[in-house]
Amino acid sequence: MSDKQPNIQPGRLDKETVESNFSDLHPPLQSSEARIEAERCYFCFDAPCTTACPTGIDIPGFIQKISSNNLRGSALTILTENIMGGMCARVCPTEILCEDACVRNIPGDKPIEIGLLQRYATDPIFENNTPLFTRKPPTGKHVAVVGGGPAGLACAHRLAMLGHAVVVFNQDKKLGGLNEYGIAAYKTVNDFAQREVDWILSIDGIEVQTDMALGTHFTLKDLSDEYDGIFLGIGLGSVNKLDIPGEDLPGVENAIDYIGKIRQSKDKTTIPVGKNVVVVGGGMTAIDIAVQSKHLGSSAVTIVYRRGPKQMGASTFEQKLAQTNGVSIQYWAQPLRIHGKNNVAGIEFETTNVDQNNSLSVSGDKFHLNADIVFKAIGQTLDNQKLGQELSNLSSKRGKILVDQTQATSMPGVWAGGDCVLGGNDLTVSAVQHGKIAATAIDRALGAPPDG
């Protein structure tokens, strides 16, 4: 196929349109709306919504406090179990977790808007920088937390509450992990990710060192020699490869990195975007980069996923969100090769199907899509090139760290959580729970009584 110049440029839409496109996906509830919605709750005993929440928030409890106009109490109920309850109110896939389990989620009715109610309760806390938690007396113990994403921050905050001194080592300039760098900008507007981080750190007892990466600036041995415990919340720094010809051509982009550029840009009209964009993958990241490409002015954006809609990591809501924003989703196809000489010109796919054993196979039918940019959104793995030998002493499987039920790794004195561990579902809410569990285990290992 002959090469062509890619049609990639900034400013496809005017600034006013772009700002409108990146406004809040779910505008907050007004007080009257929140009260009405809260009164729809049945306040179930042994509520299935609470069971469905990875952090175990007492959902009927916080909704009942909204009904009685006790917003501070409601926020305390939420943030005691999920210190990042504000962010989770914005990005958590409630439609497949708590709201899916709601007893009102039946034909002819609809589930309680739990996510929006959670945001209604917690937003005033961050807006007013209201303190809710206090520290116990200092224990004299020092813990190193590697990674300032949801798992690391949740662990650090709980350890600080328990009286331990914590140092968070973060490789980026800003804390927050994927909440800051890897989520669609229209989901967390007005710099909310950093406002939440600032509030979490306000408990004191947490020192932050940025631009500090494991394997580059320090080793696990360095930390073991200096600290009484270590928590790893290092995320997944490397993107899986397509392993097809043409993958190294200019115009083949890592979706996570591009999302980060969009989120960090003060003027999104300066972000170059392709006229024709193809996204390979089926998770939330694929949806986020596809929708944002349309919001920046791409003419044609297509997500291609190797299986069907029910198998996609992105929820039904997210898939519909993409389609209603002009994104096409092509199911049952996998990439064969990327065409182009000096840059991406297009990408070829082969259709797929599954046999009776649910094994994926190809049909032999092929099709081609023109593309100025091809985004890879097929998952991440640990960046072993950067980490070097640092994780060689930790048991791992399928490119992730193995942990037990307390988040302990195979190395004594080292715990881990978040996306870097096996068995996670790559959600902020799950990472927070990992950090919480690990902090409790570290506290006990450092000498706290069993119920301390």
User: How do residues 160-216 score in pLDDT, each as one tens digit?
Assistant: 999 999 999 999 999 999 999 999 999 999 999 999 999 999 999 999 999 999 999
Same domain, 248 and 158: no
In a domain, 296, yes or no: yes
The structure tokens 């400013």 sit at 11
User: Is the pLDDT score of 391 beyond 90?
Assistant: no
Looking at residue 448, what is its pLDDT? 61
Q: Cβ neighbours of residue 83 under 8 Å, at least 6 residues apart?
A: 153, 154, 157, 158, 200, 432, 436
User: Do both 341 and 356 map to the same domain?
Assistant: yes
Beta carbons of 63 and 112 less than 8 angstroms apart: yes
- For residue 296, what are the domain limits? 8-18+240-376
Q: Is the dihedral of CA 202, 206, 208, 214 positive or negative?
A: negative
List the structure tokens of 162: 């328990």
Span 393-412, mean pLDDT? 93
Tokens of 374: 């091809």
Q: What is the pLDDT of residue 452?
A: 45
Which residue is listed with tokens 């980026």? Answer: 172
Q: Is the domain of 306 the same as that of 424?
A: no
Is the C-alpha dihedral spanning 42, 44, 49, 54 positive or negative? Answer: positive
Domain-located, residue 450: no
Domains held by the chain: number: 3
pLDDT tens digits, one per residue of 89-108: 999 999 999 999 999 999 99
**Average pLDDT for residues 356-383, to the nearest whole number?**
92
* Residue after which a domain boundary falls, among 81, 97, 127: 127
Are 197 and 229 part of one and the same domain? yes
215 in the same domain as 197: yes
Instruction: Indicate which CATH number applies to the domain containing 336.
Output: 3.50.50.60
- Answer with the one of 70, 93, 127 that is the final residue of a domain: 127
* 262 and 221 within one domain: no
Report the Cα 371 to chain-centroid distance in Å.
Answer: 27
105: which 2 tokens? 């989620």
452 occurs within a structural domain:
no
Tens of pLDDT, residue by residue over 412-436, are: 999 999 999 998 778 999 999 999 9
Which amino acid belongs to residue 357?
Answer: N
Is the pLDDT confidence value at 13 over 80? Answer: yes
> Would you say residue 421 lies in a domain?
yes
29 domain residue, yes or no: no
H-assigned helices in 358-408: 384-387
Shared domain for 244 and 328, answered yes or no, is: yes
Instruction: Tell me the mean pLDDT in the region 331-351.
Output: 97
Q: Is the same domain home to 246 and 357?
A: yes
Could you list the beta-strand ranges (E) of 139-217. Answer: 142-146, 165-170, 206-210
What percent of the chain is predicted at pLDDT more than 90?
90
Using pLDDT thresholds of 50, 70 and 90, give the confidence band for residue 309: very high
Q: Hey, which of 5-9, 28-32, 351-355 has the most confident mean pLDDT? A: 28-32
| Of the residues 103, 127, 151, the one at which a domain ends | 127
* Domain contains 180: yes
Q: Look at residue 449 in the predicted model and tell me its pLDDT.
A: 57
HSE-CB at 298 with a 13 A cutoff on CA atoms is 29
**Mean pLDDT, rounded, for 360-381:** 95
Are 418 and 362 found together in one domain? Answer: no
Asked whether residue 349 carries a pLDDT value surpassing 50, the answer given is yes
pTM confidence score: 0.94
At residue 36, φ and ψ (nearest 5 deg) are -60, -45
Say if residue 299 is in the same domain as residue 411.
no
The Cα 111–Cα 104 span in angstroms is: 5
Run of H or E residues at 38: helix 31-38
Q: pLDDT of 228-244, one tens digit each?
A: 999 999 999 888 999 99
- Side-chain-side CA neighbours of 140 within 13 Å: the count stands at 2
Cβ-based neighbour number of residue 44 at 10 Å? 14
> And the tokens for 229?
């415990």
Shared domain check, 207 and 157: yes
Question: For residue 302, is it within any domain?
Answer: yes
Q: Are residues 88 and 149 in the same domain?
A: no
- 85: domain CATH number is 1.10.1060.10
384, 237 contact by CB (below 8 A): no
Whether 46 maps to a domain, the answer reads: yes
